[in-house]
Amino acid sequence: MTELIRNHCGAARAAKTVHQLSLSEQRNAGEFEKSRVSKFVHSSDSRVQRAVVLIESRMGQKVTPEAAASHVGLSSRQFTRVFQEQLELTTKKFIIETRLRHARWLVENGNLSMTEIAYQTGFSDCAHFATTFKAKFGASPSSFRQKPIVNQKSAEAEA
């Protein structure tokens, strides 16, 4: 199927189709799962693309660079080189960014405590989560927590 799409629509469309089909459509799929398709990462190397789908489908949890390499049939060293060459970042950094994207969604859209979010997204503790989150997004996780609608309206009125 992928080869047919590649022949008729091009390599980019084929890779995107594989990515979208790999994300199972569930009736109760959350917004994060649905938003992953719009955060599409493309690689011309099908092995890297399969690894990206694996990492994103697990939201960066319970997957290591070594497991991703094994999943696509490459040695860890060769996979790391190919992945970094294709996406211009390391596998480990991509995994962490995927976890942080999920964490940010949980912070902005949920009511879990920061500690629960830290554990759910694979961080060893809340302090490590907060430090990593702030380094990526430039602010603490608690500052990303959505304000009540009343406060947003009053802030707009003041502006």
Query: Is this model's pTM higher than 0.75 or not?
Result: no
Q: Do the domain assignments include residue 155?
A: no
21: domain CATH number is 1.10.10.60
Least trusted range by pLDDT, from 13-27, 36-50, 58-72, 137-151: 13-27
Full DSSP string of 44-77: SSHHHHHHHHHHHHTTT-S--HHHHHHHHT--HH
Number of domains in the chain: 1
Rounded Cα gap, residues 13 and 1, in angstroms: 12
Tokens 């060293």: give the residue: 77
- Report pLDDT for 22: 55
Residue 90's H or E segment, with its range, is none
Indicate whether 96 pLDDT > 80.
Answer: yes
Mean pLDDT score, 13-23 = 63
3-state secondary structure of 155: helix
Q: Which one is predicted more confidently, 127 or 6? A: 127
Rounded Cα gap, residues 10 and 126, in angstroms: 44
Domain boundaries, position 142: 2-150
Q: Do the domain assignments include residue 41?
A: yes
Residue-wise over 46-75: b if at least 16 C-beta within 10 A, else e?
A: ebbbbbbbebbbbbbeebebebbbebbebe
- Report pLDDT for 37: 38
Q: Do the domain assignments include residue 157?
A: no
Q: Do the domain assignments include residue 103?
A: yes
Q: Which one is predicted more confidently, 84 or 23? A: 84
Mean pLDDT across the chain? 79
